[in-house]
């Protein structure tokens, strides 16, 4: 599953971030392959708001479509 399919309240584990440039940028927020994040909000036709370590980050839909995740809990 990809991150753009996430639902509000869902906890997921990042499995794969395909783009090297994106991977190097997103690591600044503590998001790496293997990280567990929570979907805080899913804005219709907008970004996915995720949280990790008490920090919320908005990830655009096009980027979220590229990030492979595994659901941990609903």
Domain extents for the chain? 3-73
Class at the top of the CATH hierarchy for domain 3-73 = mainly beta
**Residue 64 and residue 46 in contact, taking contact as beta carbons nearer than 8 Å:** no
Q: What is the pTM of this model?
A: 0.86
Question: Max CA-CA distance within the chain?
Answer: 30
The Cα–Cα gap between 64 and 43 comes to: 12
Q: Residue 38: how many CA atoms within 13 Å on its side-chain side?
A: 10
User: Is pLDDT larger for residue 18 or for residue 38?
Assistant: 38
What is the chain's mean pLDDT, rounded?
91
Q: For residues 25-49, give the mean pLDDT.
A: 91
* Percentage above 90 pLDDT, the chain: 66
């Amino acid at each position: 599953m990809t991150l753009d399919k996430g639902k509000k309240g869902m906890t997921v584990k990042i499995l794969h971030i395909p783009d090297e440039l994106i991977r190097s940028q997103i690591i600044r927020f503590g998001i790496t392959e293997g990280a567990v994040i929570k979907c805080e909000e899913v804005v219709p036709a907008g970004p996915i708001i995720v949280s990790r370590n008490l920090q919320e980050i908005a990830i655009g839909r096009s980027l979220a479509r590229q990030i492979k995740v595994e659901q941990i809990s609903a």
